[in-house]
Amino acid sequence: MNKLFFSADTRGHADHGWLNANYSFSFGNYFNRDRMNFGALRVLNDDTISPGKGFGYHPHENMEIITIPLKGDLEHKDSMGNLGIINEGEIQVMSAGSGIFHSEFNKNSDKSINLLQLWVLPKRENVEPRYDQCSIQGLRKLNSFYMVLSPHPEDNVMWIHQDAWFHLGDFDKVTSIDYELKKEGNGVYIFVIEGSFSVSNEKLNKRDALGVWNTDIISFKAQPNSRVLLIEVPMKF
Residues written for the chain: 237
The candidate with the shortest Cα–Cα distance to 228, out of 185, 170, 160, is: 170
Residues of the chain with CATH 2.60.120.10: 11-135, 144-234
Give me the CATH topology for the region 144-234: Jelly Rolls (2.60.120)
CATH number assigned to the domain covering 11-135: 2.60.120.10
Task: Give the up-direction half-sphere exposure of residue 56: CA atoms within 13 A in the CB hemisphere.
Answer: 0
| pTM recorded for the entire structure | 0.96
**Tens of pLDDT, residues 120-177:** 999 999 999 999 999 999 999 999 999 999 999 999 999 999 999 999 999 999 999 9
- Rounded CA-CA distance 87/189 in Å is 24
Query: Do 98 and 138 touch, CB atoms closer than 8 A?
Result: no
What is the tens place of the pLDDT at every residue in 73-106?
999 888 888 888 999 999 999 999 999 998 999 9
Burial profile 66-78: b = 16 or more Cβ within 10 angstroms, e = fewer: bbbbbebbbbbeb
Which pLDDT does position 237 carry in this prediction? 77
Upper half-sphere CA count for residue 200 (Cβ side, 13 Å): 17
pLDDT band of residue 198 (cuts 50, 70, 90) is very high
